[in-house]
Amino acid sequence: MLGLKFKLNRKKKFSLEENVYLIQQGNVKLQNELIHSYKPFIAKTVSSVCKRYIHETDDEFSIGLIAFNEAIQKYNVENGSSLLRFAETLIKRKVIDYIRTQSKTKNVSFDIEHSFEDGEFASTSIDDKLSIEAYKKKTDDELRKEEIHKYTEELNQYGISFSDLLQQSPKHADARKNAMTVAEIIAKHDDLKEIFLTKRKLPIKQLETKVDISRKTIERNRKYIMAMTIIFIGDFIFLKDYIKGVLDS
């Protein structure tokens, strides 16, 4: 009897994603507990961007904390990635944006405007600006490499490799743009996205009613469309920017 009572009173242990769902339903207490427990994760992620140890008193940590909370609110399990992967991406982007904003407002414009009048400050301000630009490029390059690595892992889950993309990528720009458009449509429609994520294949039959592209063309570019769909659905900021640039051109 006592053993039964103990089992009834024992709290159920929820997964991280289940806890996030409860938080999104308004559980503020659980939200505060989750954020507190993941402070080491936030600090580690922010530190990887800043290339130095980040304390909780640092402004960059506060930016990471806000980004983690935003990730909790925006996370959708149907997107296919874990909360921590989504949060990591969002934290890094927010911290980078913060650093860029700070670098722009931290006397850079003042120095550039007055440096040549003062003479002695000219070389310093130019060096500072070059250092900022170099830092931006280095950080973006590192994040881009990390994103490509994650994308490669995601492709492998669908039986696609980069060599497949090189071999099966449509040769004409219009054909590539059409394939990207099909991928975007899959990502925007929950029914198509569910089929893609659960069955790991293109919902070709359902697509025929939504796109003005022949079934034969879709099947011919199947792997390329799947690869583009993975980008649209996932948290691939750099790759997604590239695709949007192609579609807008």
Domain boundaries, the chain: 16-106, 162-248
CA 129/CA 135 separation, integer angstroms: 10
Is the entire prediction scored with pTM above 0.75?
Answer: no
How does pLDDT run along the chain (249 residues), one tens digit per residue? Answer: 444 443 434 445 678 888 888 998 989 899 999 999 999 999 999 988 888 888 888 899 999 999 999 999 988 877 667 888 889 888 988 888 888 777 665 544 433 333 334 443 344 444 444 445 555 566 667 777 888 888 888 899 999 987 888 788 888 888 899 999 999 999 999 999 999 999 999 999 999 888 888 899 999 999 999 999 999 988 787 888 888 877 776
CA 62/CA 155 separation, integer angstroms: 34
Backbone conformation region of residue 54, classed left if phi is above 0, alpha if psi is from -120 to 50, else beta: beta
CA 155/CA 170 separation, integer angstroms: 18
Say whether 171 sits in a helix, a strand or coil: coil
Q: Within 10 A of 45 (CB to CB), how many other CB atoms are there?
A: 23
Q: What is the pLDDT of residue 199?
A: 92
Q: Give the Å distances, CA to CA, from 79 to 83, 89, 133, 147, 221.
A: 10, 14, 33, 16, 23
Q: Give the Å distances, CA to CA, from 141 to 147, 226, 238.
A: 10, 25, 10
Query: Shortest CA distance to 83 belongs to which of 36, 27, 38?
Result: 38
CA 80/CA 233 separation, integer angstroms: 7
Q: Which residues contact 196 (CB under 8 A, 6 or more apart)?
A: 186, 202, 203, 226, 229, 233
| Tokens read off for 235 | 């948290």
Fold of 16-106: Rna Polymerase Sigma Factor; Chain: A (1.10.1740)
CA 156/CA 161 separation, integer angstroms: 6
